[in-house]
Structure 1
Amino acid sequence: MGPGVDRVPSSARFPASAEVVVIGGGIIGVATALSLVEQGIRTVLLEKGTVAAEQSSRNWGWCRRTGRDLRELPLINLSMQLWEGMNERVQRETGFRRCGILYAARSEKQRDLHQRWVNEARQYGIHSEMLSPAQLLQHLPQLKGDYPGGMFTPLDGRAEPQKAAPAMARAAMALGLNLQQHCAVRTIERSAGQVSEVITEHGAIRCQQVVVAGGAWSRLLLQGLGVSLPQLKVLSSVLRTRPIDFDPGACVSFGSVAMRKRLDGGLTVATSAISTADITPDSLRFSAQFMPAFWHERKAIKLRAGKRFLEEALYWKPGQADKRSIYEVLRVLEPTIDAGMIPLIRDRISALIPSLAPLPVAQSWGGMIDSLPDAIPVISAVDPVPGLFLATGFSGHGFGIAPGAGQLMADLVLNRAPSVDAHPFRFSRFTDGEKIRAQFWL
């Protein structure tokens, strides 16, 4: 089971129509809906399960500029401005705190890479610091290990994944958002080529525009419209501890393991050094597009063969208006955690910070990260289907960047000047001849 998430009530009235329907109650969909209703747009948010039940509540909770793809930096700058005022904006606790984010360099080669990123990021107004080994130990005097320094961004922060999207959803509802949970979308219908209505398990909703913010489910929703999105899923494993008398101050990554302090007094501990990718039919379908990123990250990706291949081959099909869909069968993705990952995470953090041993683990869970070949999202109109918009593929970077992504998506839906340059995030980059590549800085 995933972590406990703050509950949000659904709206009492099922809507017959809306100006915009947003599909997906994760933090991207919620942030988009909030930005729309703040502009007075009649908006419906549909979620097959409950708000933030999947990756939006299962991530690390980092709100970081540090080490991001340079193409994302204007958007994360906007997001961090929005995070700073988020509690006041929604009049609720999202858990956001400015604490800084620190990446310890595992080698001189990585320290040089961090230095290059720091130099590049300055042109975007981001002032990160390179730390010497002595300065790193000033931040973490308990640290054991040979690290030649680190990279620190003092204005980065953290928020609580189990609180943030629900708080934003409640604020949007106070402004008129109609939220329908346990309401799966079966199909998106068109009239004269234009989006005209969304067919849900509870009935049809007429609309002029649809935003698909379905995370790991987005590819399947688009497939039902004859649109191909090269998207794969990667499993990340996370644990939280009971409240303990230890605070690293900043969110810290040591490469092999990472941690942050939680609002409840515990730690969230995870690793990006090893993630699990189940082999599925889409793994084969998109292997050529993902191969450059996979080859670069081959030591960090553990391929796993198992029942998911047959499950997705047999049952993961686009929905039909008059039949029960896969979205109604699997309300919430509960991926099976790799059995060895949690002991590995626990042992690694205890070796680096011996005072944490034995680590008082309270809970562990897995979450499915929706990934694209270049590891940056699509935030874009889908030109082959007028009235359709897409916000997905955040590749593990979505939580921190969500406020800005929601605002940018609303800008595009409303056909107003975008808050930041949307060109890097266009859907058409996969078909217009651009060389698709990922940037790796961490």
Structure 2
Amino acid sequence: MAPETTTRSGREAWLALGLIASGLCLLQYYVQYTKVSTEGVAMERTESIAALPVPLSRPDRAELPRRVDVVVVGGGLTGLFTALRLRETGRRVVVLEACRAGWAQSSRSLGLIREQGREAIEAAAMRRANRSWQTLAGALGPDLGWIRGGHVSVARDDAAMQRVRDWGEVAREHDVRFEVLTREALRERMPWLSVDVVGAGYTPDDGHVDPSRATASLLMLCRRAGVEVFEGAEVQGIDVAAGRVTGVSLPGAEIRASDIVVAAGAWSSRLLRTCGVHLPIHVGRGTVGLTVPAPPITRASVWDVGGVGFRQSADGRIVFGLGGYVDVDVHWEDVAEAWKLLPTLVKSRGQMSVRIGRELVRDVGGLLARRELPSLPFETPRVNGRQVTEGSRRLAELVPELEGVDCNLSWGGVIDATPDFLPIVGGASIDGLALIVGTSGHGLGLAPALGDGVARLIDTGSSPAYLDAFASSRFDR
């Protein structure tokens, strides 16, 4: 048997290398569509938010419950909102977070709660989410860091202005207060904007939050409500019997449950593979910059269509990022299913940077050594310094008063994205398994609505209509 085993292993190794070669050829093919960076960490700043916590040690096995009604995997905002709503139905709910709550992305996002500019199919969910955020702000007050200042989408040319006007149809359909501002109206109402701006869209009911404070506040609400939250608890597998989930496996422990919600962000895809669920989710990094305090400019969040977005916090600092710009660190899934990633890159040409490096090497090593993909490591997301520099330049260009205001801090976040940049939410092919994955950078804003919808699915057996567009079945075709 030894020679046969050796031959089989050799064939598998050559197959893996062949797939890698094919994938790399595809990557070279779409260089023309996207900016590709194969340079290493030396080109990126490694600063992070000092207040953000680091990964924890594992909880003691004796601390973990043996059986609950629902396990929520992932302690970001979507997981916490889901857990809170499920707890309100009287169920025993445990949240298992492999690191710290909100560590990977929820506490690192830009913090915009905006209806304006959303895709038509997510508008109903965002309408519900916005109302939930406002209700939560009323209950928590300043602890949430909520500012209801509206949202402004500015346009620098006629094409961008037409996109702003076109969104008015979505606003009318979903009863969103929306106003188109001409250049003259902007000069009167927002004189701090660059004279190059030709017009804008304005939604007065939008707002923004401090993501770190929002995550901490929701975690507090969950624990007060009786949700059991364990940080440092990495779920390694989902257990299934006779087509239904039975629980989850952790290092040295198991927890039995009737229902499982996977809301683990970038870590969701590989976890779901342990129970045979394969979804087209790709992992990327976003970068956010933070300036020193500046004079008060606006309470609104601002988005330059196709450019920089920002909000001003209560202490005057400007939080900014380049809209839609994502760094993709190539993993095995991106190579093996490059044909699924290619349309995403074509659609987002000029806004994605593809980097081939240690992530792919680590994945291939795991496949060759153990015939399985390793878990994604918990590392502080790297910062793209060029995005910070370019974002600072565009910010000063858009708001001349901010020229010379230094950016003294920047951080990265981990984004799980689908090919159409919309989340996958709802039931799965396995009974008792529910998903909130692939939120594509929309997770913070949509979190209350997605959590409400999945909680209703588990409680009643049917999900609200606004989740229909997010079903995983759309990728079966």
Q: Same fold (TM over 0.5)?
A: yes
Q: Deviations over 1:242-278 (max 9, x none)?
A: 3222332210012321110123431101112633222
Cα separation, 2, equivalents of 1:87 and 1:237: 26
The alpha carbon displacement at 1:6 in A equals: 8.3
Answer with 284-293 or 169-178: which moved more. Answer: 284-293
Distance in 2 (CA, whole Å) between partners of 1:33 and 1:175 is 10
From 415, 437, 454, the equivalent of 1:392 is: 437
Match of 1:152 in 2: 202
Q: Report if the CA contact (8 A) 1:2-1:58 is conserved.
A: no
Residue 311 of structure 1 corresponds to 362
Q: Aligned partner of 1:389: which letter?
A: A
Contact 1:66 1:153 in 2 (8 A): yes
Where does residue 183 of structure 1 map in the other structure? 233
Q: Which of 256, 262, 286 is the matching residue for 2:337?
A: 286
Are 1:326 and 2:375 an aligned pair? yes
Cα shift readout 1:368-409 (whole Å, capped 9, x = no counterpart)? 2111111111111112x2111110111111111111111011
| 1:379 aligned onto 2:421 | no
User: 3-state DSSP class of the match of 2:68?
Assistant: coil
Q: Contact between 2:116 and 2:203, CA under 8 Å: does it hold in 1?
A: yes
How much has 1:16 moved relative to structure 2? 1.4
Matched, 1:408 2:458: no
Name the counterpart of 1:438. Answer: none
1:203 is aligned to 253
CA contact (8 A) 1:118 1:127 kept: no
Judge conservation of contact 1:107–1:148 (CA < 8 Å) in 2: yes
In our comparison, the structure showing a higher alpha carbon Rg is: 2
Q: Distance in 2 between matches of 1:248 and 1:381?
A: 41
1:197 shift after superposition: 1.6
Partner of 2:78: 28
1:265 and 1:122 map into 2 onto residues whose CA distance is: 34
**Normalising to structure 1: TM-score of the pair?**
0.89
AA matched with 2:403? A
Residues 312 and 132 of structure 1, relative CA distance in 2, 3 Å threshold: farther
Does 2:346 match 1:300? Answer: no
Q: Please tell me the residue identity of whatever aligns with 2:466.
A: D
Task: After superposing the two structures, state which structure 1 stretch, 254-263 or 333-342, moved more.
Answer: 333-342
Residues 303, 155 of structure 1: alpha-carbon distance in 2 compared, 3 angstrom cutoff: same
Distance 1:65 1:286, change over 3 A: farther
Are the counterparts in 2 of residues 211 and 390 from structure 1 also a CA contact under 8 Å? yes
For residues 6 and 358 of structure 1, what CA distance do their matches in structure 2 show?
A: 31
The equivalent of 1:161 in structure 2 is 211
Match of 2:308 among 225, 250, 257: 257
Q: 1:316 and 1:49, CA in 2 relative to 1: closer, same or farther beyond 3 A?
A: farther
The amino acid across from 2:307 in the alignment is S
**C-alpha distance in 2 between matches for 1:138 and 1:232:** 44
**Count of paired positions:** 425
> In structure 2, the residue corresponding to 1:246 is in which secondary structure?
coil
Residue type of the partner of 1:414? D
1:72 deviates by 0.6
Q: Does 1:57 align with 2:116?
A: no
The amino acid across from 1:22 in the alignment is: V
Equivalent residue for 2:124, pick from 74, 88, 107: 74
Query: What is the distance in 2 between the residues matched to 1:154 and 1:231?
Result: 34
Deviations 1:79-121 (A, max 9, x none): 1111111034467721222111111113211211221111233
Q: Could you say which structure has the higher helix fraction?
A: 2
Q: Match for 2:375: what amino acid?
A: I
Q: When the two structures are superposed, what TM-score results if normalisation uses the length of structure 2?
A: 0.83
Query: What residue is the counterpart of 2:244 in the other structure?
Result: 194
Unaligned runs of 5+ in 2: 1-46
What letter corresponds to residue 266 of structure 1 in structure 2? Answer: R
SS of aligned partner of 1:314: helix
* Partner SS state of residue 408, structure 1: helix
